[in-house]
Structure 1
Amino acid sequence: MKVKQLLQQMTLKEKVGQLNQRLYGWEVYTKKEGEITLTKTFKEEVDRWGSLGFIYGVFRADPWSGKNQETGLSTEEARYVSHLIQEYLQEHTRLKIPVFLSEECPHGHQGLESLTTAANISVGASWNPALYQEVQEIVARDIREKGAHLGLISTLDIARDPRWGRTEECFSEDPFLASQFTVAALKGLQGGAGQRIDEAHVLAVLKHFAGQGSAMGGHNSGPVNIGPRELREIHLPPMVAGIANGAQMTMAAYNDVDGQLCHGNPDLLNRLLREELGFQGAVMADGCALDRLVEITEDKVEAAIWAVTSGVDISLWDDVYPYLEEAVVSGRLSEEVIDTAVLRVLLLKEKMGLFSNPTPLVQSASLEEKRERSVQLAKESLVLLKNQEHRLPLKKNETIAVIGPNGDLLYNQLGDYTPYKCEEQCVTVLKGIQDYGHEHGMTVVSAPGSMITRELEGGIEEAVALAKTVDTVVLVLGGSSARDFSTTFDANGAALSGSNEMTSGENIDLADLALPAAQVKLVKALHDVKKTLIGVFIQGRPHILTAVEPYLDAILIGGYPGEYGGEAIASILFEESPSGKLAMSLPRSNGQLPVYYNYRDVAFKEAYGDDSGKPLYSFGTGLSYTSFSLTDLALVVPTKAGLHKGESLKISGTIKNTGDYRGAEVIQVYLKSHPKKLVTRVKELKGFCKIWLDPKETKGIELNLNLAELSELAENMNTQMMTDITVMVEAHDFSWQERIRIND
């Protein structure tokens, strides 16, 4: 049946049912003594509307849902529940419309037996979107094997203030780099921009639109005081790239932009997103976000009208969209507005093949493939920032002490939105080093030393005594987003109060990004032992390392490297050359914040009277065990007419690995525009490539910047071509620039 014909047959109640996503999915089923049944809650919702559009999180298993390995669903059980849900709708609804099952997949599916990969804060540092796309293809199969259809993934948020607890969900402080990973996530999950989504892929729900990474003071859902130019230059590019590559769904952001809530902003969702940018898909609300409109309207019917006419098609857990029916019946809302939103939903169900087979038989990737791809992504995401006297890589005959709160706590290296894991199948940093040490006959000992934020009674004394017995101490420090049963939750799943050990995660915003005092005290005590100290930082945000940096011989930033992260870290510590580059600057002090590389080039004193204005480590920084030379750089500059015909600005050259290790260098291309009467940024990333070379190997490089990369916003906010440009090519220990003009 054609979806437009189906729409014509639907009652108003059935239409409203397609736009409501009210159920917490884990409440749809019960599992007792191995028997799984659908709940009264689910059946009453079906009976209420006669049609369901979406159910969120049926397979979610974490402290908020209360589902774990005993009470949650295995992959086989998940498929069974998926069939039960779709069969019930076939048997108990008039039009038999299948329901979308939507699942979180910020760094792997948030369900049991699914792969948990490196979090976005790590992924961005890999500078390898192609590898990330391969990992997302695995994630899509994990979701589809269980019978779900939508993957909710954070790709649109730009990390402009690391005080924000959800910084870990961001790829970068830079919109171009984030855009490349947005495209990779989209292609990996959806499998391309075709008219149909095949059985091995899912629809990607890109979140959050828009501006959430610039909230005032880093407060979650806080006011976003940016103008239209900042919105377009910094926060829109990932969505623009997503639309160009087949994005069909997005989630609105909690925040306002200059006083207008994103969920009630027709200028943002209708005029800009749909009319100007050409988005033809559906917009989903964030969890309970529509309830916040009621705080303003003090009228649920009015809030529902406000949201749906602003362009929000689908609700999430709120008590607002049930009032859409009353809004139409009372004459306050045209049913045509409802029809437009429902048609978007039905077209997406058709695109996913739900009307023919909502639960196709799909096999996930093998465990070997999952591990290999996940470990490789984690390896390439590790960033070496300091390597005094070339202490890394470690020698295979050294004795090692692994000390620190993040050495052997699995969930501390996984990040927020993480499902329960089978811990014995995962690899912590300690286990990774122990496995490597056992293989090479090394002695490896361990002690926690401290907790994340608190001292352990006798912990420092134990750590110092242990350090005296070994050659090298690997200090595994940082933060944690691990929720536990002491965490209390809001209705939308955000932590109202975290455990004392949480320093990142949704709603865990910090005023002070300094490494916790307990860890600083531990580092200083171990430094007095006068052994080599290697700092490995597992963290969900760029912590301030100023207090410990002088005491560490080497610094390796790990972000949240995923369930096999310990294997990746051990490999980098002992053998493989690190290739990651910072995707977010590491601040020197809180007083600098926000501090990012691509600020506007205005006449101001960059340094403070009492501190440097520069970060401790800047965007794009990252060391290697090997060395590279970059030679023969040249530009081929097109004409304006040529650019419009598809020509590009070509940057070519030769790179050589001049060292003794196989390694990769990231060639970064920045532009600085010099327009009239407009303040542009000091530099902006517009191209990059990651090149692997064996020792002494030489390769040619070529990067092409097309019309999109060579365009900017004019004084009147229209798009214009850059004509007077400084081109900067940068890599470690290398910087080259040339000023050019693009003429008619």
Structure 2
Amino acid sequence: MTIESLLDKLSLEDQVQILSGASFWSVEGPGIGTLRVTDGPNGARGGGSLVGGVKSAAFPVGIAIGATWNPELAREIGQAIAQEVKSKGAHVSLAPTVNIQRSVTNGRNFECYSEDPVLTAALAVGYVKGLQGEGISATIKHFAGNESEIERTTMSSDIDERSLREVYLIPFEAAVKEAGTWGIMSSYNKLNGTYTAESEWLLTKVLREDWGYDGIVMSDWFGSRTTAPTVNAGLDLEMPGPTRDRGEKLVQAVKDGLVSREKVREAAGNMLRLMARVGSLDDHRPHVEVADDRPEHRALIRRAGAEGAVLLKNDGLLPLTAQRIAVIGPNAAVAQIMGGGSAQLNPHYAVSPLEALQARGLQITHAPGCTNHRFEPLLKGAFTVEFFSDRQFGTLAATAPMESLMAFWFPPMAGNVDPANFSARIRGQVTTEAGLHRLGTYSAGFTRVFVDGKLIADASEGKWQKGRTFFEEGCDEVVGEITLTAGTHEILVEFVSKPSDNLAFAAMAVGLGRPMGDAEIAEAARIAAGAEVALVFVGRNGEWDTEGSDLQSIRLPGRQDELVSAVLKANPRTVVVLQTGGPVEMPWLDQAPAVLQAWYPGQEAGNAISDVLYGAEPSGRLAQTFPRLWSHNPTHSQDQEIYPGLNGHVRYEEGVFIGYRHYDKQGLEPLFPFGHGLSYTSFEMSDVVVAAGNGRASVTATVTNTGAREGTTVVQVYVGDPVASLPRPEKELKAFAKLTLAAGQSRRITLDLPPRAFAFWQDGWVVEAGEFVVSTGFSAADLRAKSVIRMGGRRLPV
């Protein structure tokens, strides 16, 4: 049966039904199967809450995949995640995230691949091909202009069309034209004053008319705010369900002439086409989720995590042979595997660096030295929650176990309670050491926390104030101090829901920790002094690098810089291992002989890091420039309209000059340039030849491994247009290739530069006649050859 004949059988009401979710994670229609979706992009969480749920494989985060510069590896990961999606009974992965890293403080940078559109596009194409080759739909997101988490549900990203076309839309365009993505998700924000979900220019003119897209466009969760404007703009699917703005409202809008029958039919046809592509039209199986812990996925995650690690600095200390080491830092004994927000999942397991190093049979001393948490450490254990179907703890609706004191509650909830109108009591016990403790809570709702019957942390109604947690729906952490005896203590949490401003959910978290100070840093320095080599594991975690909140600084949180300096002073043979979702300032860099950026590499985190420290090739290259100071970033401005935004608008004043393009323009030397990454061997480039003809060009070069061991490098080609009618960057990445060579081996490679590599946007793609500079090297700052070629002028197809 064709899509058209199936549409003919569906009434208006039936067609409308499949244009909105039936539940939080599914779409259903009369006489057809159920379409199920699951969050990504570093795995497949399945249905249910953002915390807990059926276990899944946790893959490296986006910025770690970006650092691999390996589209083929991205394809492998997409293929594996497709298998994970199937294990969760779903058909659609809400991934990948391909927004551009405009700011170094964007809380969601960890999810994105790069500051560069060409690199992002290549990786996105690989990922999408991997997913959809297995029959699982990708959902490229967030379309478009979602480069900050500040007021993201209401902020207007004001971006000129040239910058959109040359930078921010490039990954989406490539996913449509080269990978044939079946799904796209609109962003929460406005674009130039219009919500993206209501932008006919974006969803119809650009996406369907210019690019020829034939898939679906779905809203981000609760990101559809109207009926007729979204349907008319080209938003096919409102998520999640039950519907707020479609259903009977859309049927009435058709009857009132606000939406045409043809527009509804077109959207319904897009939905049916997607369901046919993923095989859900006739899928009436019960929804079953399983924890499918595959050995091949374990191996892939470990390999990918190591491949994305970037060796920023090495004065000969790495790779290690030391057997007696000090393992120090707040990220040493904790597996930092992913960022926060909708990308979270419940991993099969998580290997910390300390565990992985212990498995090597090394002699290890360990000290945390300091903390780096944003919130007090989450309380975990055996807790019981009672749900009441009102806000007064009146009518008991259900009882359920909890494994930790963090919860996201959205429909369907236990006892069918309404997340906007319920209350809950959570009880349990915690065992502590004697001494001063800090108890903290933050919540999207009103919370009070008692220890042994005493109120310690109070975020109840009247005291609760909106802050920067839980997607900007929660309060900032409220902390109380309490001195506890050694032993077991009773915990009671009272929670009362509140109306949500933009998202229909309730949430809370409670943590308990002990403060650290000078004594802990001194102890870390002491054990460092007695070791052959000290390893300091510092950085951030998913509390800092998270959806819903931008960073306030790119300094390491807490006293980590002090810790690193103290350890370096105690033992000059110290390796600093960073785990962050983006750049950090490094005031201690000159004293550090070796620095490794490991990102959040998934559930095999510790093993991947240990592999690189003890000899696996660190073939990662920076996909985002590391500035010396946050103030060097183009979004660090005295003008709040540029960042973080003012009066509901954020102005992309820098235009196309973001990332390395900005540092080139301003003459700023970064801490580490775009594309930078060291190897355990050395490479040379020779005999570079650039040939031009028929509106395109090619670069051919010989790359030689001049070291004593096998190694991997990335050849990068940049194009500059020094004399142009519009201001253009000094150079732009246009091609790259990753290659592995044995010791002494040479290889001749050729990289193609299509006509678009020389074009800019001016009411269409334009190549101006004249000279272009083609630079080839190993990073944006390590260019080994430059050639000047002439190109004829022409206009290119959109």
| Fold match (TM-score > 0.5) | yes
Q: Distance in 1 between matches of 2:671 and 2:112?
A: 20
Listed as ranges, the matches of 1:283-682 within 5 Å are: 283-291=217-225, 303-317=226-240, 319-322=244-247, 323-357=249-283, 367-388=294-315, 390-395=316-321, 397-411=322-336, 413=338, 416=341, 417-423=343-349, 426-436=350-360, 438=361, 442-453=362-373, 456-457=516-517, 458-481=519-542, 502-545=543-586, 547-594=587-634, 596-599=658-661, 606=666, 613-640=668-695, 643=696, 649-682=697-730
The worse-fitting range, judged by mean Cα deviation, of 447-456 and 659-668 is 447-456
Deviation at 1:135, TM superposition (A): 1.6
Q: Does 1:702 align with 2:753?
A: no
* C-alpha spacing 1:722/1:137, structure 2 compared with 1 (3 Å): farther
Cα distance 1:356–1:453, how it changes in 2: closer, same or farther (>3 A)?
closer
Match of 1:182 in 2: 124
Partner amino acid, structure 2, of 1:431: E
Question: What's the counterpart of residue 205 of structure 1?
Answer: 139
CA–CA distance in 2 between the matches of 1:668 and 1:561? 24
Going from structure 1 to structure 2, the CA distance change for 1:413 and 1:288 (only over 3 Å counts) comes to closer
1:735 aligns with 2:784: yes
Match of 2:508 in 1: none
Tell me how far apart the structure 1 counterparts of residues 71 and 291 of structure 2 sit (CA, whole Å).
Answer: 21
CA deviation string 1:625-657 (max 9, x = no partner):
1111111111222133xx4xxxxx221121111
User: Who is 1:490 aligned against?
Assistant: none
2:357 aligned partner, one-letter code: I
CA contact (8 A) 1:282 1:344 kept: yes
CA distance in 1, matches of 2:720, 2:120: 19
TM-score (ref. length: structure 2): 0.73
Cα distance in 2 for residues equivalent to 1:598 and 1:278: 32
- Which structure shows the bigger proportion of residues in strand conformation? 2
Q: Which of the numbers 684, 690, 712 marks the counterpart of 2:760?
A: 712
Tell me by how many angstroms 1:201 deviates. Answer: 2.7
C-alpha displacement at 1:693, in angstroms?
Answer: 0.9
CA distance in 2 between counterparts of 1:638 and 1:365 reads 52
In structure 2, do the counterparts of structure 1 residues 734 and 268 end up closer, same or farther at CA, with 3 Å as the change threshold? Answer: closer
Give the 3-state SS of the residue equivalent to 1:386 in structure 2: strand
How far did residue 445 of structure 1 move? Answer: 2.2
Q: Which runs of 5+ in 1 are unaligned?
A: 26-53, 56-88, 192-199, 292-302, 482-501, 608-612, 644-648
Hey, what's the Cα distance between the residues in 1 that align with 2:607 and 2:151?
33
2:43 match: 108
Residues 620 and 359 from structure 1, CA distance in 2 versus in 1: closer, same or farther, beyond 3 angstroms? farther
Structure 1: distance between partners of 2:314 and 2:739? 22
Match for 1:337: what amino acid? Answer: K
Does 2:174 correspond to 1:241?
yes
Distance in 2 between residues matched to 1:119 and 1:405, nearest whole Å: 20
**SS at 2:95's partner residue?**
strand
Matched, 1:693 2:741: yes
CA contact (8 A) 2:338 2:344 kept: no
CA-to-aligned-CA distance 1:489-525 (integer Å, 9 cap, x gap):
xxxxxxxxxxxxx211101212312112411121122
Q: Aligned residue for 2:189?
A: 255
CA contact (8 A) 2:156 2:194 kept: no
- Does the 8 Å CA contact 2:61/2:338 hold for their aligned counterparts? no
**In structure 2, what is the Cα distance between the partners aligned to 1:693 and 1:145?**
38
Please tell me whether the aligned partners of residues 161 and 218 of structure 1 are also in contact (alpha carbons under 8 angstroms).
Answer: no
1:371-399 CA distances to partner (integer Å, 9 max, x unpaired)?
221111111101011112x111112x431
How far apart, in 2, do the equivalents of 1:265 and 1:398 lie? 60
SS at structure 1 position matched to 2:108: helix
> Could you say which residue in structure 1 is the equivalent of 2:507?
none
1:740 Cα offset (Å): 0.8
Report the more deviating stretch, 326-335 or 535-544: 326-335
Question: In the alignment, residue 578 of structure 1 is paired with which amino acid?
Answer: P
The yes-or-no answer on 1:227 pairing with 2:274 is no
How many Å separate the matches in 2 of 1:447 and 1:329? 69
Please identify which structure carries the higher helix content: 1
Give the conservation status (yes or no) of the 8 Å contact 1:537–1:556.
Answer: yes
Alpha-carbon distance between aligned partners in 2 of 1:217 and 1:352, rounded to the nearest angstrom: 35
Aligned counterparts of 2:339 and 2:603: Cα–Cα separation in 1: 6
Counterpart position of 1:74: none
SS of 1:541's partner is coil
Normalised TM-score (structure 1): 0.78
Q: Aligned letter for 1:236?
A: L
* TM-aligned CA deviation for residue 722 of structure 1: 6.2
Structure-2 residue corresponding to 1:33? none
Change (3 A) 1:257 1:332: closer
**Which of these residues, 214, 232, 239, is aligned with residue 280 of structure 1?**
214
* In 1: Cα distance, 2:614 partner to 2:663 partner: 42
**Unaligned 5+ runs, structure 2:** 47-53, 375-514, 636-657, 794-798
Compute the RMSD of aligned alpha carbons. Answer: 2.6
* Paired amino acid for 1:467: A
Report the alpha carbon displacement of residue 414 of structure 1 after superposing the two structures with TM: 5.7
**Aligned AA for 2:369?**
G
Could you tell me how far apart the structure 1 residues matched to 2:673 and 2:545 are? 21
CA shift for structure 1 position 357: 4.5
Say which SS state the counterpart of residue 476 (structure 1) adopts: strand
Q: Deviations over 1:122-157 (max 9, x none)?
A: 100001110121121111011123321001113320
Alignment match, 1:496: none
Structure 1 residue 265 and structure 2 residue 199: aligned? yes
**Letter matched to residue 182 of structure 1:** A
172 and 267 in structure 1: CA distance in 2 versus 1, 3 angstrom threshold: same
Q: What amino acid maps onto 1:515 in structure 2?
A: L
Compared CA separation, residues 327 and 209, structure 1 to 2 (3 A): same
Per-residue deviation at 1:598?
4.4
> AA paired with 2:262?
E
- Is the CA contact (8 Å cut-off) linking 2:720 and 2:772 kept in structure 1? yes
> Counterpart of 1:435 in structure 2: which amino acid?
A
Q: 1:653 to 1:334 in 2, by over 3 A?
A: closer
2:44–2:88 contact (8 Å) kept in structure 1:
no
Residues 167-198 of structure 1, C-alpha deviation per residue, up to 9 Å, x if partnerless?
1111000000000011011100001xxxxxxx
Distance 1:120 1:722, change over 3 A: farther
Separation in structure 1 between the aligned mates of residue 592 and residue 154 of structure 2, nearest angstrom: 36
Q: RCO greater where, 1 or 2, for CA within 8 Å and sep 6 or more?
A: 2
Residue by residue over 1:288-319, the C-alpha shift from the partner in whole angstroms, topping out at 9 and shown as x without a partner, is: 1123xxxxxxxxxxx21111111111011362
Q: What secondary structure is seen at the aligned counterpart in 2 of 1:183? A: helix
1:480 Cα shift? 0.8
Aligned 8 A contact 2:572 2:593 in 1: no
Q: Could you tell me how far apart the structure 1 residues matched to 2:152 and 2:257 are?
A: 39
Check 1:126–1:2 CA distance in 2 against 1; reply closer, same or farther (3 A cut): same
Q: Does the 8 Å CA contact 1:412/1:479 hold for their aligned counterparts?
A: no
Amino acid at match of 1:97: I
